[in-house]
């Protein structure tokens, strides 16, 4: 057995009936490039041949009664690939809208914790002749970086798949009984008594650094930085249901680079500005535009900060203002650039281990109970939102990739929703494109496809301003 780390266990404790915490991905495949043709059976064999490179796909959870300690992984003695790889044929015209509707329903269903926490569906019947691969993995086994690394094990740089290397002989494990699990968890707690003490010290140090940075920013007259629990209430905020809807689109990465160069900002600033423009338009039609900025949660990878950290999730959150109260897209961009610099200062002062420390300080049973009560009582519809929206920017491959011989012509990510916020926007760069994946609770977010169009209009407006700037 291998015990989960605190950052990975966090996503198990946080999950609820209305908040499934898996990450969903869509790959659009061109089967015409496969040297020997492409079929569901070939894809299944391809996945089977790469399992040794993705050991987490054959591991299942062993949860600890009363959450004495974090759950454990074991090599699933009942692992069956056919339980995880499925085939679906669209029954309608095979449009992208029909595919999006399928993905929305698929994303609404939680993964079964009795089996390894992943699933994939080959979707056929698209009107353009492409094939879709839709996959979901629980957040406790992947974040943006580890998810891309794991998917990379399935992919090749040429249409001819490389021969898989068998890294080791896989050995299934016996499922331990409850007494054994309780004894192991109790012993682990007793032999690591300094975990809460270390967490108290780390949290205290982080808060002291945060207070110092905030004080220095006030003295220097810097603009107030975004922080959680200070977000205005909008129509995208409230108690979420289990229903999900998705939309996806892509834009050339050169558009983002041109805007970046013209205004001296970052690609992430451009992404956030496009989202700000789109959200302002959405609020103008469906709600009202607040007189202060939205609070956006921006996941930040911490991979490489601690070489000893074996967590699949090495990520923290940075909070950035989205100035929807400003009408001009260039003013929005400049405000975001300035605000992001301040947000980075505060983020760096907190450190990278806050999630781990919180989980070590708050017993899992209490944490899970509080999150469930928060959801069940509808407090998210009455209290100030923790944040308005999540916007994540993930770096993908700059070159063409293939899966079982089929060229990947589209790669779209859909992150999870967090209670109180009905919208998550994830952007993934891939082979010269910026791929936008939007997922929402349709009971909160109206005209979801229109929101994606509005974001595209924001990119167009910034690009037009960039061209004018460079003349």
Strand-pairing partners, residue 3, are 72
d(CA 437, CA 448): 12
Are the beta carbons of 32 and 65 closer than 8 angstroms?
Answer: no
What is d(CA 147, CA 371) in angstroms, rounded to the nearest whole number?
26
- Which residue is it, tokens 């220095």? 216
Digit-coded pLDDT (tens) for 172-228: 888 888 888 888 877 777 666 556 656 565 656 655 555 555 555 566 555 666 777
Name the residue among 421, 416, 436 with its Cα closest to residue 107: 416
CA dist., res. 417 & res. 295, Å (int) = 15
Residues 62-101 have pLDDT tens digits of 988 877 788 889 999 999 999 999 999 998 889 999 999 9
Enter the tokens of residue 384.
Answer: 């100030």
Position 205 scores a pLDDT of: 62
CATH class held by domain 2-188: alpha beta
pLDDT of residue 77: 94
Note the maximum CA span of the chain.
73
SS3 416: coil
Query: 322 with 279: CB under 8 angstroms?
Result: yes
pLDDT per residue as tens digits for the range 298-308:
988 766 555 44
318 confidence band (pLDDT: 50, 70, 90): confident
Q: What are phi and psi of 437, to 5 degrees?
A: -120, 115
Q: What are the phi and psi torsion angles at 327 (to 5°)?
A: -90, -30
Collect contacts of 50-55 with beta carbons under 8 A, ≥24 apart.
Answer: 50/153, 50/154, 50/164, 51/81, 51/170, 52/164, 52/165, 52/166, 52/167, 52/168, 52/170, 53/153, 53/164, 53/165, 53/167, 54/150, 54/153, 54/154
Sheet holding 59-62, edge to edge: 2-3, 72-75, 59-62
**pLDDT greater than 90 at residue 273:** yes
Question: Is the separation of the CB atoms in 273 and 298 below 8 Å?
Answer: no
The residues carrying an active-site annotation are: 139
- Cα–Cα distance measured from residue 54 to residue 50, given in angstroms and rounded to the nearest whole number: 7
Q: How far apart are CA 212 and CA 227, in angstroms?
A: 15
Say what the pTM is: 0.89
Radius of gyration of the chain (CA): 23
* Domain residue extents for the chain: 2-188, 194-398+415-470
**pLDDT at residue 469 above 60?**
yes
Q: What CA–CA distance (Å, rounded) separates 267 from 275?
A: 13
Which tens digit of pLDDT belongs to each residue from 400-455?
Answer: 999 999 999 999 999 999 999 999 999 999 999 999 999 999 999 988 889 999 99
CATH of 194-398+415-470 among 3.30.559.30, 3.90.1170.50, 3.30.2270.10, 3.30.70.80: 3.30.559.30
- Separation CA 397–CA 162 (nearest Å): 18
Extract the runs of DSSP E, i.e. beta strands, from 352-422: 389-394, 402-403, 406-414, 420-421
Lowest mean pLDDT: which of 7-11, 214-218, 461-465?
A: 214-218
Backbone phi, psi, residue 230, to 5° = -130, 30
The H-assigned helical ranges of 63-162 are 96-107, 144-152
Two tokens at 392?
């994540």
Q: Where are the alpha helices (DSSP H) in 302-353?
A: 329-350
**3-class secondary structure, 311:** coil
């Amino acid at each position: 057995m291998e015990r989960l780390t605190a950052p990975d266990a966090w996503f198990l404790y946080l999950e609820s009936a209305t908040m499934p915490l898996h990450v969903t991905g869509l790959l659009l495949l061109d089967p015409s490039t496969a040297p020997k043709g492409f079929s569901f059976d070939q894809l299944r064999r391809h996945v089977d041949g790469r399992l040794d490179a993705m050991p987490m796909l054959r591991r299942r959870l062993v949860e600890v009664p009363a959450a004495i300690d974090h759950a454990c992984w074991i090599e699933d003695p009942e692992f069956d690939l056919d339980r995880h790889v499925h085939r679906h044929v669209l029954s309608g015209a095979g449009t992208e809208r029909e595919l999006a509707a399928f993905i929305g329903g698929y994303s609404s269903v939680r993964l079964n914790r009795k089996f390894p926490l992943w699933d994939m569906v080959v979707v056929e019947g698209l009107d353009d002749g492409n094939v879709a691969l839709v996959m979901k993995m629980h957040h406790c086994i992947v974040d943006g970086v580890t998810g891309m690394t794991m998917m990379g094990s399935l992919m090749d740089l040429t249409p001819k798949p490389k021969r898989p290397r068998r890294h080791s002989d896989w050995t299934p494990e016996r499922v331990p009984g409850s007494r054994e699990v309780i004894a192991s968890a109790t012993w682990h707690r007793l032999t690591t008594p300094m975990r809460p003490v270390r967490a108290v010290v780390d949290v205290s140090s982080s808060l002291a650094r945060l207070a110092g940075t905030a004080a220095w920013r006030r003295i220097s007259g810097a603009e107030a930085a975004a922080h959680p629990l200070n977000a205005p209430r909008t129509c995208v905020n409230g108690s979420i249901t289990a229903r999900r809807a998705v939309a996806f689109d892509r834009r050339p990465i050169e558009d983002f680079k041109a805007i970046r160069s013209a205004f001296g900002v970052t690609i992430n600033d451009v992404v956030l500005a496009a989202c700000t423009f789109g959200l302002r338009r959405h609020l103008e039609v469906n709600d009202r535009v607040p007189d202060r900025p939205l609070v956006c949660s921006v996941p930040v990878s911490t991979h490489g900060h601690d070489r000893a950290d074996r967590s699949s999730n090495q990520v923290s959150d940075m909070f950035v203002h989205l100035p929807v109260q400003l009408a001009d897209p260039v003013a929005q961009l400049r405000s975001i650039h300035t605000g992001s610099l301040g947000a980075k200062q505060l983020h760096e002062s907190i450190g990278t281990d806050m999630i781990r420390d919180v989980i070590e300080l708050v017993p899992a049973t209490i944490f899970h109970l509080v999150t469930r009560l928060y959801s069940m009582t509808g407090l998210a519809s009455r209290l100030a939102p923790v944040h308005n929206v999540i916007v994540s920017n993930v770096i993908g491959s700059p070159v063409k990739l293939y899966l079982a011989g089929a060229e990947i012509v589209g790669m779209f990510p859909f992150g999870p929703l967090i209670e109180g916020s009905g919208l998550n926007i994830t952007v993934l760069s891939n082979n010269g494109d910026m791929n936008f994946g939007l997922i929402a609770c349709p009971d909160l977010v109206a005209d979801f496809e229109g929101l994606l169009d509005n974001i595209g209009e924001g990119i167009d407006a910034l690009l037009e301003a960039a061209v004018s700037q460079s003349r």
